[in-house]
């Protein structure tokens, strides 16, 4: 990467060379760049697309490709512009390179309307291409879904799950995903109230409102094992690789199924590692799941039956449908 080459240059030659200069003179082997930097900084754009480095380019990789749709195409709240519209313009960048340069797009959550939209945005189909679906399930991850047994505002369902292990007295290393910072703070307070004093400092939040130093402290604690439970929003997401997470909990449904898959993907990431993925949710989600499972069973037996959702009210069908948009 540019950063690594930069450090080597400083150490070996005794003088600093900017990462951009390493691209311009062809020294860099791998470049990590945001779409905004490539589109809005003319020098960066010229270095990446018009230098001798560009002539030797072997491939373009779009990691977490679902954000091309989520951030670059879909309008944000109140029908405003997309969150990061440059992600939706990557086809313009691709056109600046030789047509023989392959493009690889990777994601664990390409489904519904996102897949064709992303293919169009990245200009897949104009040249031969193929798609490889390796699946999303991890052999070391056990999935479960449970309805709330206590009032949602009490967070007592989490209190029952987050308990010290017998023998070690440690809390399982856990990430709890919530939909707002306020809930993260409330859950932190409730868990600390119900845990022994010696374990209360092993719980932290990770949200967009936390400072950079707070986030760094929390991540370092997770890696070191001094922080055992993190209550997080979407801020703890892409680019986070923790190999030894014991449990991932989703508190209430996220905005869609893709977010749920992304969150559960934080578990069982290390070799031979095992983790539990738990969705704690309202009863209606269980009803929808059971209705769909029953429908799939009837389809497998080829027995005539009503549609899988026929036993659900129109409101529940719509709520379930909204999660897959």
Residue range 81-111, pLDDT digits in tens: 898 999 999 999 888 888 889 999 999 888 7
Q: What is the pLDDT of residues 127-174, one digit of tens each?
A: 788 888 877 666 778 899 999 999 999 999 999 999 999 989 999 999
Residue 168 sits in the same domain as residue 104 = no
Q: Give the domain-ending residue among 89, 121, 153.
A: 121
Residue 254 sits in the same domain as residue 311 = no
The number of folded domains in the chain is 3
* Residues facing residue 248 across a β-bridge: 175, 277
Residue 195 in domain: yes
Residue 214 sits in the same domain as residue 291 = no
Residue 136 in domain: no
Residue 108 sits in the same domain as residue 186 = no
Sign of torsion over alpha carbons 197, 162, 220, 182: negative
Residue 292 sits in the same domain as residue 273 = no
Q: Which two tokens stand for residue 154?
A: 């009490």
Residue 310 sits in the same domain as residue 237 = no
Task: Give me the pLDDT at residue 262, please.
Answer: 86
Residue 99 in domain: yes
Torsion (CA) 16, 19, 23, 24 in degrees, nearest 10:
-60
Residue 300 in domain: yes
Q: How far apart are CA 160 and CA 163, in angstroms?
A: 7
Residue 268 sits in the same domain as residue 152 = yes
Domain range for residue 301? 284-322
**C-beta separation of 320 from 312 below 8 A:** yes
Per-residue pLDDT of the chain (325 residues; tens, 9 = 90+): 444 444 444 444 544 578 889 998 888 999 999 999 999 999 999 999 988 888 889 999 999 999 999 899 988 666 678 989 999 999 998 888 888 899 999 998 887 778 899 999 998 987 788 888 877 666 778 899 999 999 999 999 999 999 999 989 999 999 999 999 999 999 999 999 999 999 999 999 999 999 999 999 999 999 999 999 999 999 998 777 788 899 999 999 998 888 888 898 888 777 777 899 999 999 988 888 888 778 766 666 555 544 444 566 777 777 767 666 5
Q: How far apart are CA 112 and CA 106, in angstroms?
A: 16
Residue 114 in domain: yes
Q: Give the domain-ending residue among 121, 153, 172.
A: 121
Closest among 24, 122, 21, 29 to 69, alpha carbons compared:
122
Residue 75 sits in the same domain as residue 146 = no
Give Cβ neighbours of residue 28 (< 8 Å, ≥ 6 apart). Answer: 1, 2, 5, 19, 22, 53
Q: What are phi and psi of 54, to 5 degrees?
A: -65, -30
Q: How far apart are CA 39 and CA 90, in angstroms?
A: 9
Measure Cα distances from 212 to 37, 171, 284 in Å: 21, 25, 38
């Amino acid at each position: 990467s540019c950063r690594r080459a930069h450090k080597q240059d400083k150490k070996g030659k005794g003088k600093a060379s900017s990462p951009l200069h390493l691209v311009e003179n062809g020294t860099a082997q791998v470049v990590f760049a945001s779409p905004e930097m490539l589109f809005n900084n003319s020098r960066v754009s010229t270095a990446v697309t018009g230098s001798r480095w560009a002539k030797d380019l072997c491939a373009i990789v779009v990691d977490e490709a679902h954000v091309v749709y989520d951030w670059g195409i879909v309008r944000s709240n109140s029908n405003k512009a997309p969150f990061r519209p440059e992600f939706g313009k990557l086809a313009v960048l691709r056109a600046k390179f030789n047509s023989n340069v392959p493009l690889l797009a990777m994601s664990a959550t390409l489904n519904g309307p996102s897949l064709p939209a992303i293919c169009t945005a990245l200009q897949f189909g104009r040249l031969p291409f193929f798609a490889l679906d390796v699946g999303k399930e991890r052999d070391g991850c056990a999935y479960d879904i449970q309805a709330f047994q206590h009032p949602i505002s009490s967070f007592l369902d989490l209190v029952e799950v987050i308990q010290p292990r017998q023998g070690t007295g440690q809390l399982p290393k856990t990430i709890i995903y919530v939909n707002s910072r306020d809930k993260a703070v409330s859950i932190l307070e409730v868990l600390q109230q119900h845990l022994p004093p010696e374990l209360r400092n092993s719980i932290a939040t990770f949200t967009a409102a936390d400072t950079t130093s707070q986030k760094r402290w929390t991540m370092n604690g997770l890696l070191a094992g001094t922080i055992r439970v993190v209550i997080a929003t979407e801020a703890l997401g892409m680019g986070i690789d923790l190999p030894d997470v014991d449990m991932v909990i989703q508190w209430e449904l996220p905005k869609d199924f893709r977010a749920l898959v992304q969150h559960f993907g934080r578990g069982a990431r290390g070799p031979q590692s095992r983790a539990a993925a738990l969705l704690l949710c309202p009863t209606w989600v269980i009803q929808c799941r059971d209705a769909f499972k029953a429908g799939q069973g009837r389809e497998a037996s080829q027995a005539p039956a009503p549609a899988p959702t026929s036993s659900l009210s129109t409101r529940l069908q719509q709520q379930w449908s909204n999660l897959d948009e």
